Amino acid sequence: MGGALLFPLLAYPLTAVAAGRAALVRLVAGPGGQERRIGELVSSRARLVDAFEAERRRIERDLHDGAQQRLVALTMTLGLARLDAEPGGELSARLAEAHRQAGEVLAELRELINGIHPQVLTDRGLPDACADAADRSPVPVAARFDLPGRLPAPVESAGYFAVSEALANIAKHSGAGRARVEGRYVDSRLTIEVADDGRGGADPAAGSGLTGLADRVAVVDGTLAVSSPPGGPTLLRVEIPCTPISL
């Protein structure tokens, strides 16, 4: 149900990305100097990344301030109505079921909002957002970051979703008893490592989400490497060149 709510909202950014990709293909295929085309490609990709991040945040704000608040009000109204209904009656049972379903939809919407762009990432930055993701993981995770300040929003977003996807894979596939997340800024690069003591054997071709994650990191000129021999351990490493925007 939550996915159905999001589909119309995501249609625009997906269309924009598709149109941008077509424009990039035309740039490469067209006449002109190679250096000029490469420069235009880099500029176009940067604009696409900025536009997509802005649209992502707009959707998150609209859902948080609009649909979520209305669902909270509906849940409260149903809860009050249950208090006024005669206990044990048919109306009371129906109100109880409606109250339960409204609560489930609200929980699903909150998960969707968090998956689009968590508010903690916007407000407090990458370390706190990753610490929040670690706290929500069913596998115990130790998270530690050493950064000089806030990083560009697309970099923070890519880093957060790399950690989030890695932790989801650990919970679903690794059989790990514990994991760690470490982030640091060295030599003008953000480096994030996610490691676990699970069974290993992570394969990007097996549908684990690693291929899509590598593509996402590549959009901000980053790289992703995975070491996961059979029997473990598994180590995922992300590196993204960037410059802090605050110290």
Summarize pLDDT for 9-36 with one digit per residue, the tens: 444 444 444 455 555 555 555 555 566 6
DSSP-assigned letter for residue 204? G
Q: Which domain holds residue 230?
A: 119-241
- Based on the domain organization, do 148 and 234 belong to the same domain? yes
Do residues 175 and 159 share a domain?
Answer: yes
- Residues 111 and 24 both lie in one domain: yes
Is there a single domain that holds both residue 12 and residue 28?
A: yes
Looking at the structure, tell me whether residues 141 and 108 fall in a common domain: no
Give the lowest-confidence range in 31-40, 81-90, 155-164, 197-206. Answer: 31-40
Q: Is residue 247 part of a domain?
A: no
Whether 71 is in a domain gets the answer yes
DSSP line for 51-76: HHHHHHHHHHHHIIIIIHHHHHHHHH
182 vs 90: which has the higher pLDDT: 182
CA angle 9/10/11 to nearest 5° reads: 95
Q: What is the mean pLDDT of the chain?
A: 79
Residue given tokens 């989030």 in the structure block: 164
What are the pLDDT digits (tens) for 219-245? 888 999 999 999 989 999 999 999 999
DSSP code of residue 171? I
Place of tokens 């790990």: 176
Phi, psi of 105 (to 5 degrees): -65, -40
pLDDT at res. 51:
63
Q: What is the pTM of this model?
A: 0.64
Whether the predicted pLDDT of 43 surpasses 80: no
Mean pLDDT of 99-110: 82
Question: Region 67-85: what's the mean pLDDT?
Answer: 85
pLDDT of residue 146: 95
Q: With pLDDT > 70 as the criterion, what percentage of the chain qualifies?
A: 68
pLDDT in tens, 124-166: 999 999 999 999 999 999 999 999 999 998 899 899 989 998 9
Question: How much is the pLDDT for 80?
Answer: 87
The answer as to whether 91 is a domain residue is yes
Count of structural domains within the chain: 2
